[in-house]
Structure 1
Amino acid sequence: MIGTVREVTPNVDAGTLLAGAQFVDAFRVEIGAATVNAREACMRMVLHGPRWIDVLIRLRNILVTPFGLKTSGEGAPAPHGMIGLFPVLSETPERLVAGFNDHHLDFRIVVDVACDADGRWVTSTTLVRTHNLLGRTYLGLIMPFHKLVVRSMMGRVVAPTR
């Protein structure tokens, strides 16, 4: 059904995207006849999300600063620019890979756009590799929010207005 976000089995090469990833999940939304490329889909997800996600990100940045973790916009220059707080690492019209490495964990967000005889859809896959107790603790703390945030962001691919 168009606009319905559902969790799906991840269909990415985790070893190539983030070798050693301990967490991988994926969500898909059908977009009907809409034509978007991976960058536009990612921009709709990240830049047009609900305001409560912006509040959570600001709170996260405040809470992690004392631990020396990266906050929005920090880090090495992105080869393909930034989308919101995410450095774009690689990009084709069908796939965009964003994310960064930090001392507690590394993460990637993969946005795929595909179509077949049944329609068009966008899939967002998250991969995380933790490095230490801080990374495992952080991942455990954000997990209750992760699925809510991703589902909400994915819904914006079809309806990008706030």
Structure 2
Amino acid sequence: MGLQIDEGIPTNRTSSYSPGSKVLLFAFTVLKRTVNEIVMEKNDKHLNYRLSIFLAQNDSKVYVITIIKYHNLGGRSYFGLIKPFHQLIVYSLVKKNLSLTT
């Protein structure tokens, strides 16, 4: 499962992905955007979620890093249910919302 694109991080027509904007299906807040990276967050009372989408210019591949910080048992339980599908969910969100090609 590899995403590849030609140059820069493309955006869809509905968001500029500027810091502070809400993007993607789960209303992530953009923390930082550069030519090669978008860092987003989603905070909840049970867990905090960070998502980094990075384009390596040397090989035109997109790398996605997710970090989850649990606040309580509810966060651990929720992510325990989602974990088997996590990679597929993230891959689908990135591909759909950033208009990437495979």
Same fold judged by TM-score > 0.5?
Answer: yes
Deviation at 1:80, TM superposition (A): 2.9
CA RMSD of aligned residues (A): 2.5
Q: 1:131 aligns with which of 65, 68, 71?
A: 71
Q: Which runs of 5+ in 1 are unaligned?
A: 6-28, 48-77
Question: Is the partner of 1:103 in helix, strand or coil?
Answer: coil
Q: 1:86 aligns with which of 12, 24, 28?
A: 28
Is 2:43–2:49's contact at 8 Å kept on the other side of the alignment? yes
Question: Is the partner of 1:90 in helix, strand or coil?
Answer: strand
Q: 2:60 aligns with which of 114, 120, 125?
A: 120
The number of residue pairs the alignment matches comes to 94
What letter matches 2:8 in structure 1? V
Is 1:80–1:91's contact at 8 Å kept on the other side of the alignment? no
Q: Return the TM-score normalized by structure 2.
A: 0.75
Deviation at 1:94, TM superposition (A): 1.3
Partner of 1:144: 84
Deviation at 1:136, TM superposition (A): 0.4
What letter matches 1:90 in structure 2? K
Q: Where does structure 1 differ by over 2 angstroms across 4 or more consecutive aligned residues?
A: 150-156
Deviation sequence 1:87-143 (CA, Å, 0-9, x none): 101111111110122211001010111122xx3111111110101100000010111
Distance 2:57 2:87 in 1: 24
Partner of 1:36: 8
What letter matches 1:89 in structure 2? L
Deviation at 1:150, TM superposition (A): 2.2
Question: Is the partner of 1:87 in helix, strand or coil?
Answer: strand
Is 1:104–1:134's contact at 8 Å kept on the other side of the alignment? yes
Q: Return the TM-score normalized by structure 1.
A: 0.50
**1:110 and 2:84 aligned:** no
Is 2:19–2:33's contact at 8 Å kept on the other side of the alignment? no
Deviation at 1:35, TM superposition (A): 1.8
What letter matches 1:30 in structure 2? Q
Evaluate the alpha carbon distance shift between residue 154 and residue 95 of structure 1 in structure 2; reply closer, same or farther with a 3 A threshold: same
Question: Is the partner of 1:30 in helix, strand or coil?
Answer: coil
What letter matches 1:151 in structure 2? Y
